[in-house]
Structure 1
Amino acid sequence: MSAQWEIRFSNSRRLPYFYDAASGQSTWEIPEGHTEATIKSLPGAHLLEPANAPANQVRASHLLIKHRDSRRPSSWKEEKITRTKEEAIAMLKQLTADFGPNPTQEQFAKVASVHSDCPSAKAGGDLGFFTRGQMQKPFEEATFNLPVGAMSDVVDTDSGVHYIFRTA
């Protein structure tokens, strides 16, 4: 029985993976005997392109500034956050003042990695792919309504105030 590799999409990890229909084996790595060029001919290869992730998913990064009325007013940076919501919004605006009208993902990630109150700061604010129902409603609505490559206005959630940058 010879391998019958195809590319499928993992709903739990929100990433494409390789599946051999003949053996039932799956892997995250390119299967032996295949190259970057040959995997493009496999069934499901379109799933490897970020633009072709399932339509009900988006990918975004965010810059979160918590305030004293946030659901959990502490972060990896500060044990006890005492700033007001207005001060948090002012911080967001100050941190992104140099972005101009069309910030890049790199600019956004650089600021988020240092200043975001979310543990995603370690990944430049990247939250990966998510679907409706996985985020707080205001965050979800703002993200799904943003075009890819755009940054939101201030988004207020129970977690704090955010800028969101949609990446896919």
Structure 2
Amino acid sequence: MNNETGLPEGWEVRRSNTKNLPYYFHPATKDSRWEPPAGTDPELLKKYMAEHHSSKGISASMSSANHEGKIRAAHLLVKHRNSRRPASWRETRITRSEAEAEEIIQGYRERIDAGENLSDLATTESDCSSARKGGDLGFFGHGDMQKEFEDAAFGLKVGEVSKMIKTASGYHLIQRLE
């Protein structure tokens, strides 16, 4: 195991030129994947990703041109065992209760209220694959997201972070970006 990244021997983190996202690559086997390989130490990987792959900038392709009627938002998702897909890039099987997930998301809300950045938290803590992009979901319009999520996101002012939102996916904190 690599003691810096937490990845199994031979695996490394690379950045996709086309998507500007980190991915996992094994040079000897030429295997590449978006999800961490089996045997990864999630705590070491989380620390490494926060230090080396935190989303600080927005690519030019994500600008607001040609997105009439759409908004852009980021989110931090905490899943629980009753989520519609109780697995994530961080955990292959999520077993926490809804109450535990709610407590975790409220803790993240308190950290954001104390000055932490949702994007930085999402990079290491979100159960959504958008964590690679600091939780950024890109542009979406009405009808593209679950109703509770969409209603909350469209109700926010640019820069504002929502209260906890519950959907079939789990508990979210949403920040409107554009």
TM-score (normalised: structure 1): 0.65
Secondary structure at the counterpart of residue 111 of structure 2? coil
Rg larger for: 1
Q: Distance in 1 between matches of 2:66 and 2:148?
A: 23
Q: Equivalent of 1:113, from 98, 114, 123? A: 123
Pairwise CA RMSD of aligned residues? 1.9
Q: Distance in 2 between matches of 1:85 and 1:71?
A: 12
Could you tell me how far 1:77 is from its partner in structure 2? 0.5
Deviations along 1:48-69, whole A, 9 cap, x unmatched? Answer: 963x654410100000000011
Q: Distance in 1 between matches of 2:151 and 2:141?
A: 11
Q: Equivalent of 1:148, from 132, 137, 158? A: 158
Who is 1:99 aligned against?
112
Q: Distance in 2 between matches of 1:113 and 1:49?
A: 20
Change beyond 3 A, Cα 1:53–1:149: farther
Aligned residues: 117
Deviations along 1:104-163, whole A, 9 cap, x unmatched? Answer: 7xx111100000000000000000000111111100110011111000011111111100
The answer for unaligned runs of 5 or more in structure 1 is 1-47
Give the letter aligned to residue 147 of structure 1.
Answer: K
The answer for unaligned runs of 5 or more in structure 2 is 1-61
Q: Equivalent of 2:92, from 70, 75, 79? A: 79
Could you tell me how far 1:84 is from its partner in structure 2? 1.2
Identical columns (%) = 44
Divergent runs of 4+, >3 A: 52-55
Who is 2:145 aligned against?
135
